[in-house]
Structures are given as structure tokens and as C-alpha cells.
Amino acid sequence: MNEQPIPGSPPAGRAPAQRQPALLDRIGGREVIERIVEAFYDLVEADAELRALFPEDLRAGREKQALFMEQWLGGEPRYSEQYGHPRLRMRHFPFVIDERMAGLWLRHMGEAFRAVGVGEQEMAEVFADLGPLARHMVNAHQDVPRTPLGDVRLT
């Protein structure tokens, strides 16, 4: 059987952590994901170094991040229905992301998960895959296309 990877899954060669059923539900569902994303973006706004990577208006990013996280954690594929396959690495090419930026992103995301009360077991499951995924976005010293994709639907 030719199984399709979960959109946004870790790079090839790294197996995702074993997740218990309904991780999204154990975290608290869509409502909690939206609160996590709000808390995360509030932290980004307060971090001048990381904030420089983001567009001036963060509304679209907040919406897309919530849709992606919901889908990535096993929820409805609303992100893919609206934007096509996530192709996260390609979508991040326009931004020069180094190890430090990936680390700051992960730190703030962890703080956001904790701020809304996600349990340590669930966080361990999420970050077992989210850490490698964030590091996969690092492209600072690579020759990649830097032209923004805009809202191009990648299917």
C-alpha cells in the first residue's frame, strides 16, 4: 500500500513519533489550537528578532497557522482544502531562516502550548515531530528561490 505522508510531516528518513489516537482532541480541539496560535503570534510580535521574518500584517499568518496546526495534529484538512498541499519548506524559501530563528520559533511555540495549558505528554508528542519540522525550514546558507509564492495554491 502506498501511504501518503501527513502534510508537513518531518523530512524523509525520520519517522514521526507514535501518537496516541485523537491527539488534537486531547489537546482541546480547534479552539485550543486557535488560542495556541494567538499566544504564539503575541510572542512573535514581542520578539524583534523573529518578528523581522514575518509580514507587517499578521492576520493571514495567524489564520493559516491555525488551519495548518489543526490539520497537522489530525484534524480536518481545512488548510489543504484552502491552500493545497502545505509544502512548508517551499513556502518558507522567501524567508532567510537560520538555526537561531528556527530555535526562537520553537521556543515561542512551546511557550504558547504551555500558556494555554497543554499537558506535558501531549507536548512531548507534538514537539517530537515539530522540532525536526522547524529545523527542516532552515535555509539561510542554501541556494533556494526567494520569490514569494503569495497565495498560490500548491496542489
What residues contact 154, with CB distance under 8 A and at least 6 apart? 83, 84, 85, 86, 87, 90, 91
> Which amino acid is located at 45 in the chain?
E
Phi–psi pair at 38, nearest 5 degrees? -60, -45
Structural contact between residues 112 and 57, judged by C-beta atoms closer than 8 angstroms? no
Cell of 69: 496546526
142: in domain = no
3-state helix, strand, coil in the chain (%, to 5): 55, 0, 45
Count of domains forming the chain: 1
Give 106-134 pLDDT, tens digit per residue: 999 999 999 999 999 999 999 999 999 99
Q: What is the CATH number of the domain that holds 47?
A: 1.10.490.10
Of residues 111 and 18, more confidence is placed in 111
112: in domain = yes
Give 64-90 pLDDT, tens digit per residue: 999 999 999 999 999 999 999 998 999
User: Domain containing 66: what range?
Assistant: 26-136
96: in domain = yes
Of residues 21 and 81, more confidence is placed in 81
109: in domain = yes
Whether pTM > 0.75 for this model: the answer is yes
148: in domain = no
88: in domain = yes
